[in-house]
Homo-oligomer: A and B are copies of this chain.
Amino acid sequence: MPTETNWLNPREARAWRIFVNAHKQLEARLHRLLLQDFGLTGADYEVLAVLSEHPTGRIPAQDLRDLLEWEKSRLSHQVRGMEEEGLIIREPNPADGRSAMICLLPAGRRAIQEAAPEHVANVRRHFIGLFTPAELDTFAALNERVLNHLAEEPFPGAIRS
């Protein structure tokens, strides 16, 4: 155990600060646009995006959670809210009495179809469009190293389903 702390030097501190801020501010901007222009939160959009990509628009709650990497209670709260708004609906899963199917309603499909073009355009404008294809790959590889390292050292209770 080092009693002396190995503080970040300026180069390291800069890289860390910019890494954190870039994501935070971009996410905030995109969520804000989404909410202001279409009345959808980022969470709403993610759920609708997954459901609308499925041809049937119906998937088991468990699968949805795995795709989103969400906790089960989070999905439960989120789904309750979206059900009240009439975007989706819960139905019993005939294959397993404990499970639920999450089903896209017409209003939900309409909402994602309206929002997606502008949202994708915003992602292009604020992120994709800033880089060449080669830079995108470099960027992804660097970020991926962070993800892989986290996955290698799992946390006690990492995904508490």
Contact = CB atoms under 8 A, between A and B. Distances in A.
B140 A15 contact: yes
Interface residues of A, number: 51
Contact of A121 (B6, B12, B27): B6
Contacts of A136: 11-12, 15
A56 interface: no
A95 interface: no
Contacts of A32: 155
Given A29-B155, A128-B8, A142 B150 contact: no
Interface stretch (A16-24, A72-80, A85-93, A102-110): A16-24
Interface of A: 2, 5-8, 11-12, 14-16, 18-27, 29, 32, 69, 116-117, 120-121, 123-124, 126-128, 130-131, 133, 135-140, 142-147, 149-150, 153, 155
